[in-house]
Homo-oligomer: A and B are copies of this chain.
Amino acid sequence: MTYELFYWDGIPGRGEFVRLALEQAGADYIDVARTEGGMGRMMAMMKGKAGTFAPFAPPFLKDGDVVVSHVANILLYLGGRLGLAPKDEAGRLEANGLQLTITDFVGEIHDVHHPIGVSLYYHEQRDEALRRAENFRDQRLPKFLGYFERTLGNGEGQVHAVGGALTYVDLSLFHLLEGLRYAFPKAMQAAEPDYPLLVALNAQVRELPRIKAYLASKRRLAFNEEGIFRHYPELDLPSG
């Protein structure tokens, strides 16, 4: 069975957390909105015109008759099937809890450039964004990164978030660091020495053969100023 992933074309966005799991598992999947007629199918499903559960927003996954919405829910569903989740219930709950903390952090990262509303352009809320960015860099970035750093353990020379094996949480933490480096290069350059395990995990995931091949492929979309992680230099740490 081919998994169908529904997400906006043109940005890595929230869909990327799902893509990385599918890619690492070598799963058979289609990025529907990037295929001919795919956008129309995605919009029809959200409007409830497909006779299935109607998700509030992308990403969502269709596996036969099952429709799963929200990144953490999709990864919970795929985790066991793709061999990227702990085998025991306690471990799965822990992985889901960590993924939901990543979800919260991603929401905050998005709202740095959209503190007033998603219906407005960035330039219409730039003043508020400047203020939120300062608060984000000073307070939220170290709070979340410090938390994830503490959850990482070193097992047999490898860094993992849950248990002693690779899970979808590790893949998501890899992407989180990639996105933050793109959006806030100066702030991250200053911060990274404080988070050696997160940096090591990022390097480790990047070298996984399937991830390495994926990152070099056309399936991997580049970060840009339409997505979650946007590089607006004025929101980064000031120079000097």
Contacts and interface: CB of A to CB of B under 8 A. Distances in A.
A93 B77 contact: yes
6 contacts: A56-B97, A68-B97, A70-B101, A73-B96, A117-B135, A120-B135
A132 B136 CA distance: 18
Q: Please report whether the interface of chain A is mostly helix, strand, loop or mixed according to DSSP.
A: helix
Contacts of A147: 56
A133 to B, nearest CB: 10
Interface string A59-99: 01000011111101100110000000000011001101100
Interface of A: 48, 53-57, 60, 65-70, 72-73, 76-77, 89-90, 93-94, 96-97, 100-101, 103-104, 107, 111, 115-120, 128, 131-132, 135-136, 139-140, 144, 147, 150-151
A6 to B, nearest CB: 13
Contacts of A103: 100
Contacts of A107: 104, 107
A170 to B, nearest CB: 16
Nearest to A100: B70
Given A56-B147, A131-B128, A69 B100 contact: yes
Give the number of copies in the complex: 2
A139 B120 CA distance: 11
A187 to B, nearest CB: 15
A219 to B, nearest CB: 25
B56 A101 contact: yes
Given A65-B90, A128-B115, A97 B151 contact: no
Given A68-B93, A72-B100, A101-B69, A135 B150 contact: no
A54 B77 CA distance: 23
A198 to B, nearest CB: 15
A91 to B, nearest CB: 9
Contact of A151 (B54, B90, B115): B54
Contacts of A60: 97
